[in-house]
Amino acid sequence: MAEHEHYEAIVVGCGPGGATAAATLARNGVETLVLERGVEAGSKNVSGGVIYAEDSAPYTIDDLFPDFREEAAERPITHNYIHNIAGEKVKTFDLTEIHEHDTEWADAVLRRRMDSWLETRVHEMTREAGGGVLTGVRANGLYRENGEIVGVTTDELEPITGDLIVAADGVNSELARDAGLMDWESPDEWFQGVKAIVDMPDGAIEERFDITEEQGETHLFSGDLYEGVRGGGFLYTNEDTLSIGNVFHLDSIVEERAEVVDLLDALLTHPLLAQWIGDDYEELEYSAKLVPDSKKVAHPSPTEDRLVLVGDAAGQMQAQGPLIKGMNHAATAGALVGEAFAVARSRGDTASAGERYVSRLYDEGVMAKIRPAVYDRSRAVTEHRRVSALTDGLIDTAIGRAGLDTMIRTGIVERLYNSPRMMQILPDTTTPYATLPTAIAKRHGERIEEESAVEPPTLEERIGELTYDTDIGNPHIVVEDESWEASGAAVTACPVSAKDFGGGCYREEVRSNGYEERVVSFDSQPCVECGTCAIVADTRWEHPRGGKGVEFKQG
Amino acid sequence: MHTVVLTKGVPDFREGQVSFDEDGHLERGKTPTVMNPNDKHALRAALQTKVRNGGQLSLMSMGPPGYGDVLGEGMETVYADDLYLVSDRELAASDTWATAITLATALEKVGEPDLVFAGFKTADGETGHTGPQTCWCLDWPIITHVIALDVDEDSRTVRAKRLVEGDIEEVETVEAPMPACIIADPEFTPSYRQASHRLTHKDLRAETEARAQDHEAHMTTWDHEDLNLDPDYIGLDGSPTIVSSVDPIPKAPAEREATMVEANDEEGMNEVLDAMTPFAAETSGAAGD
Ligand SMILES: Cc1cc2nc3c(=O)[nH]c(=O)nc-3n(C[C@H](O)[C@H](O)[C@H](O)COP(=O)(O)OP(=O)(O)OC[C@H]3O[C@@H](n4cnc5c(N)ncnc54)[C@H](O)[C@@H]3O)c2cc1C
Ligand code: SF4
């Protein structure tokens, strides 16, 4: 057996999952090496994002990083609303109750700032325990000896072995894929998030939202502004910027052949947002990333040999109704892994760490939240095509309308939106995303008088504003089947491509060699590494090697 | 393990920095001094040794007191522990030979280092002699044109990949006992393939940042008396090299005549196209072969 560099624990990824895992390990004196592919932690990451500290969670991020809220977060979230939209009519409900359910605190964050702050703390902690954080290093696979997973291989270093390998490498985890624990096959298991960071003049947030510096808001949007694509929009207040974006079911984007950049612009230019954005629209960053749907893919037993998966890599990303909770679950899972290993090690049985971690996920109620049994049970009925057609149809009948009217008048709709149980069984059909909100807004909404002066940048301008360090001659994505049938969906689904856009990653082409053939051509340069075409096109998909590719400044 | 890098200040020859007088002579006073750009290969190689093998790393230079700042700058690039400046009026106008004697003496005074790295050549003198001559004075093995380096402290040997006669096509691997002198080639690529290397790198960066704030506290300055050098063997008196003359490189005269044509001058443009057609025919003919 070859001699390799060895650390007790190797953590791949320095997002919330990796950071908490490493911090917990280091606190327990475990020699821990953290590998992060970005030039700095956060430079690859995109969230909405509001990070929650749940009352019921065994660990929250500030348990491990006490100064987190003051130093790494933007604003505490104190008010929450959902807006149902039909054309220019809007009906708004207060969501503060569901938001506050099981919530100790919730803060808006920007990932570059948050994760780079975490990185510094984690490096200090792990260095003391004999390891440390290395940026610009990308794990490209698992290292096996006699068929057993014992370490990782990277683009930059010799293979490294560990007694514990934590895959906290986020969505599209190459390590989880290599272990055969996750696949990248079905679009219906994913959401795609696309977002813009909007600059706000000094004091504008306080004035336009009528809040203090210690307050912040979340606004969610659903209804007919997305032309039937299932999903919704969000707006979160940061210190002096706004995060505005959409999260859609990936299968719906594919089915509708929706131009995701147009859907973002539909939200940005909706008159409802004019009161907040104002007349001068200045976009600081355009970004996108996939989001796993924990209801469907949270792995029931995310471990194999010495490998454990945490956070998005394990599919632990909870999107139920208007709630998006991924960062908090990643942080909890990371801490549980760290603890499980520390216990296993103290018993001289490090091999049991994975099993111990999985039991803790169940015992602490994490699995019940991210993969609720009631969803699996009710899904057969609520997502059945005919049931959904029936409810969609019903809402549009006189009876349906009358029922809805009563429900709104008596406050039932607002109560339902604020019911955690209701949110758990919400089906993934158009009913809750579009049909119902549109019907509500049509009959009960108020017309927005204001006009939008927002002129979003073009896709070309957006790409032009991004920072890239392209790995020339070494593309991280290769299209294996360029036929329209296999990979055509990416032309519209890729957030930096569009049918009428000559630049971008994916382009439609008609080739004629005797007969006409519709194909896609591909250029990886403008890629924002969102993961979409790993699922919707026939590609050989990897992340770029350490430090290469896109670099988000906001995230 | 003790490593010393020899470096030198040179006039900053970059556009906008360098000043020449009317006769085309360099105005030293008006041109800022920077580290010899060709020393950066030596620094990269020395840094690799510091990171991978640890120990003490010193930067040494001979020159006017102003070179102290050049050393301070170098401290951060190479994570040096200490700086040595050999500076004395008696040493002014030394040629490479006198410089080598002086530096070799200083190296002995530092205390027999294990490895000495020297630059490829300087940007002002362009001789490339100082490194090898210093090494010769010390009677150490020397490896030149090094592109990759491995130091084995246990067996006290260095193994190097080098370009044979500086030829990029021909690479050989050689070994030498330490102490030895290494001249890094511009092609030198450091290799940090262990996580521990990169972690040390980070530690050193943080440590050096603090130290470099106050680099003078880590600098030792010696004159010829400190080194016990006989003035007859150093400086101008000890320099056998005679520079016969320095010719300014004449500007290439523009021999061809140019005719300017406005883009909207149709007739003129037609003439241009006519003139170009024979060349176009030539190339398309070639492509058709
Ligand atoms: C648009 C959008 C909105 C969202 N909104 C919210 C929200 O409001 N609230 C919320 O809680 N969650 C939200 N999420 C989800 C949330 O971002 C994720 O669930 C969360 O970031 C997961 O954390 P993680 O630590 O598992 O992974 P990540 O945060 O993705 O971290 C993974 C890390 O691993 C690194 N990495 C990846 N591959 C490798 C490799 N091969 N080698 C080395 N390093 C590697 C990455 O660079 C990254 O730093 C949103 C997501 C999106 C896209
Ligand atoms: S090329 Fe693929 S991974 Fe890159 S931005 Fe487009 S869809 Fe996302």
For A206-244, what is each residue's pLDDT tens digit?
999 999 999 999 999 999 999 889 999 999 999 999 999
Q: Rounded mean pLDDT of chain A?
A: 94
Sort strands A231-237 and A446-447 into parallel, antiparallel or unpaired: unpaired
Whether residue A403 is predicted with pLDDT greater than 90 in this model: the reply is: no
Q: Which residues line ligand 2 (CB under 6 A)?
A: A 477, 490, 494-496, 505, 527-533
- Go through chain B and tell me how many residues it has: 289
- Domain B2-233: give its CATH code: 3.40.50.620
The letter for the amino acid at A169 is D
* Torsion angles phi and psi, residue A28, rounded to 5: -90, 15
In a mutational test of the pocket of ligand 1, which residue from A12, A46, A47, A172 has the highest number of ligand atoms less than 8 Å from its CB? A47
Would you call B198 and A33 a contact, using CB atoms and an 8 Å cutoff? no
Instruction: Note the pLDDT of residue A318.
Output: 96
- Go through chain A and tell me how many residues it has: 555
Instruction: Note the pLDDT of residue B244.
Output: 57
Tokens representing B193?
């393939």
- pLDDT band at A397, cuts 50/70/90? confident
Q: What b-and-e string marks burial along B41-58, b requiring 16 or more CB atoms within 10 Å of the CB?
A: bbbbbbbbbbbbbeebbb
Residue with the smallest CA separation from ligand 2 atom 4 is A527
For B215-255, what is each residue's pLDDT tens digit?
999 999 999 899 988 877 777 676 666 655 555 555 555 55
Whether residue B30 is predicted with pLDDT greater than 80 in this model: the reply is: no
pLDDT, mean of residues A199-204:
98
Ligand at minimal distance from the CA of A37 is 1
Task: Output B169-176 pairs: Cβ under 8 A, ≥24 positions apart.
Answer: B171/B147, B174/B143, B176/B141, B176/B143
Q: What b-and-e string marks burial along A79-113, b requiring 16 or more CB atoms within 10 Å of the CB?
A: bbbbbbbbbbbbbbbebbebbbeebebbbbbbbbb
Residue corresponding to tokens 């300055």: B221
Looking at the partner chain, which of B195, B202, B203 has a beta carbon nearest the beta carbon of A157? B195
For A47-51, A235-239, B94-98, B211-215, which range has the lowest pLDDT when averaged over its residues? B94-98
**Could you tell me the distance, in angstroms and rounded to a whole number, from the CA of residue A342 to the centre of ligand 2?**
39
Q: Which CATH number fits domain A5-74+109-182+299-370: 3.90.1300.10, 3.20.20.70, 2.60.40.10, 3.50.50.60?
A: 3.50.50.60
Closest chain B residue to A152, measured at CA: B195
Would you call B199 and A156 a contact, using CB atoms and an 8 Å cutoff? no
In a mutational test of the pocket of ligand 2, which residue from A494, A507, A523, A524 has the highest number of ligand atoms less than 8 Å from its CB? A494
Whether residue B184 is predicted with pLDDT greater than 70 in this model: the reply is: yes
Would you call B203 and A137 a contact, using CB atoms and an 8 Å cutoff? no
Identify any residues that bridge with A33 across adjacent strands, giving them in sequence order.
A10, A132
For A93-140, what is each residue's pLDDT tens digit?
999 888 899 999 999 999 999 999 999 999 999 999 999 999 999 999
Question: Which ranges of chain B does DSSP label H, i.e. alpha helix?
Answer: 39-53, 67-78, 96-110, 130-138, 195-212, 266-287
CA angle centred on A360, ends A359 and A363, rounded to 5° = 85
Q: Nearest CA to A173 among A377, A309, A360? A: A309
pLDDT, mean of residues B150-171:
92
Q: Which residue has the higher pLDDT, A413 or A167?
A: A167
Residue corresponding to tokens 């920095």: B17
Q: Rounded mean pLDDT of chain B?
A: 83
Instruction: Note the pLDDT of residue B289.
Output: 39
Tokens representing A508?
């439609």
Whether residue B129 is predicted with pLDDT greater than 50 in this model: the reply is: yes
Instruction: Note the pLDDT of residue B287.
Output: 40
- pLDDT band at A532, cuts 50/70/90? very high
- pLDDT band at B285, cuts 50/70/90? very low
Instruction: Note the pLDDT of residue B168.
Output: 79
For A356-377, what is each residue's pLDDT tens digit?
999 999 999 999 999 988 777 7
For A449-471, what is each residue's pLDDT tens digit?
999 999 999 999 999 999 999 99
Q: Does domain A468-551 have CATH number 3.30.70.20?
A: yes
* Torsion angles phi and psi, residue A70, rounded to 5: -70, -40
pLDDT, mean of residues B38-62:
94
- pLDDT band at B127, cuts 50/70/90? low
Tokens representing A50?
């509001």
Whether residue A320 is predicted with pLDDT greater than 80 in this model: the reply is: no
Whether residue A427 is predicted with pLDDT greater than 80 in this model: the reply is: no
pLDDT, mean of residues B58-71:
90
pLDDT, mean of residues B107-121:
89
For A346-350, A519-523, B184-188, which range has the lowest pLDDT when averaged over its residues? B184-188
